[in-house]
């Protein structure tokens, strides 16, 4: 077997086009829109539709950005003024927005919301926050603290525990090494049915959390923790 040049190995493994003077990616990442049903009466149809329209648009723009990145000249990248930098920033913005909406849609709007004290979710949140009530108070505070974005409970793989966070916009203050288990939309449009009374909106949303979905996410986070030990 002939020895391969290191650059040849890298470009081959990454699927880069070596025919051009500057390597370009040859496989765009594509997201697809998922269907969600919102049975809740806590939000108006106008707000529900706005959520979904925004979600669809984020996926559309992400796919557009991904296609542009496929053909961009990476050799012109620089920190001051480059199309590559701009596209990469917008990629994260739209990707996070799409996934955060999906996480929120899936763990909300449960008209029969109930959490059992013997459930893994209850046990883990009580363990890491002292009491389940402490988790609730901290989660509400995170929702109130965001300037427009998301409140989240997530498993931190470095600390090996669950913590609450808030994300401004879709990509500001995003912690490293977390697996989201509960996500709540805190953009202004989300609480407009409550005249932007955030606390009332948060309380109502928390009363409709889908703990079956959250339980499965907790199980996955525990599996991740076991692998990383």
pLDDT in tens, 188-208: 999 999 997 999 999 999 999
Answer positive or negative: Cα dihedral of 56, 57, 61, 67.
positive
Extents of the domains making up the chain: 120-228
Neighbours of 26 (CB within 10 A): 11
Helices 211-228 and 120-129 pack at an angle, to 10 degrees, of 70
Q: What is the dihedral of CA 141, 222, 121, 34, to 10 degrees?
A: 80
If phi > 0 it is left, if psi is from -120 to 50 it is alpha, else beta; for residue 155 that is: beta
How many CB atoms neighbour CB 125 within 10 A?
A: 26
Q: How far apart are CA 39 and CA 50, in angstroms?
A: 15
Q: Classify strands 178-185 and 149-156 as parallel, antiparallel or unpaired.
A: antiparallel
Phi/psi zone of residue 165: left (φ > 0), alpha (ψ -120 to 50 degrees), beta? beta
Percentage of the residues of the chain whose pLDDT score is greater than 70: 88
Q: Structure tokens of 66?
A: 């991904």
- Residue 10: which pLDDT band, with cuts at 50, 70 and 90? very low
Q: Tens digit of pLDDT for each residue in 30-69?
A: 999 999 988 899 999 999 999 999 999 999 999 999 999 9
Q: How far is CA 218 from the centre of its chain?
A: 16
Strands of the 149-156 sheet, one edge to the other: 161-168, 149-156, 178-185
Rounded CA separation 147/35 (Å):
28
Model-level pTM?
Answer: 0.86
Which residue is associated with the tokens 């079956």? 212
CB 162 within 8 A of CB 124: yes
Identify the bridge partners of residue 154 per DSSP, sorted by sequence position.
163, 180
Measuring CA to CA, which residue among 184, 167, 217, 201 is closest to residue 101?
184
User: Which of 82 and 7 is assigned the larger pLDDT?
Assistant: 82
CA–CA separation, 210 vs 215, rounded Å?
Answer: 9
Within 13 Å and on the Cβ side, how many CA atoms surround 33?
13
Confidence at residue 58, expressed as pLDDT on a 0 to 100 scale: 97
Fold of 120-228: minor pseudopilin epsh fold (3.55.40)
């Amino acid at each position: 077997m002939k020895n391969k040049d290191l650059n040849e190995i890298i470009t081959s493994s990454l699927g880069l086009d070596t025919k051009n003077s500057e390597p370009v990616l040859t496989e765009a990442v594509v997201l697809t829109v998922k269907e969600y049903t919102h049975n809740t009466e806590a939000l108006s149809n106008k707000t529900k539709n706005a959520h979904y329209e925004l979600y669809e648009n984020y996926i559309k723009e992400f796919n557009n950005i991904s296609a542009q990145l496929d053909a961009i000249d990476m050799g012109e990248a620089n920190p001051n003024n480059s199309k590559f930098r701009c596209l990469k920033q917008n990629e994260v913005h739209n990707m996070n927005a799409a996934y955060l909406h999906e996480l929120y849609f899936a763990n909300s709007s449960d008209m029969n919301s109930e959490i059992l004290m013997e459930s893994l979710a209850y046990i883990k949140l009580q363990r890491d926050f002292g009491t389940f009530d402490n988790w609730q108070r901290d989660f509400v505070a995170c929702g109130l603290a965001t300037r427009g974005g998301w409140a989240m409970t997530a498993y931190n793989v470095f600390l090996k525990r669950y913590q609450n966070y808030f994300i401004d916009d879709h990509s500001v203050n995003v912690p490293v090494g977390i697996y989201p288990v509960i996500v709540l939309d805190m953009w202004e449009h989300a609480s407009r049915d409550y005249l932007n009374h955030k606390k009332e909106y948060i309380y109502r949303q928390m009363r409709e959390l889908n703990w079956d979905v959250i339980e499965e996410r907790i199980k996955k986070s525990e599996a991740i923790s076991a692998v990383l030990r």
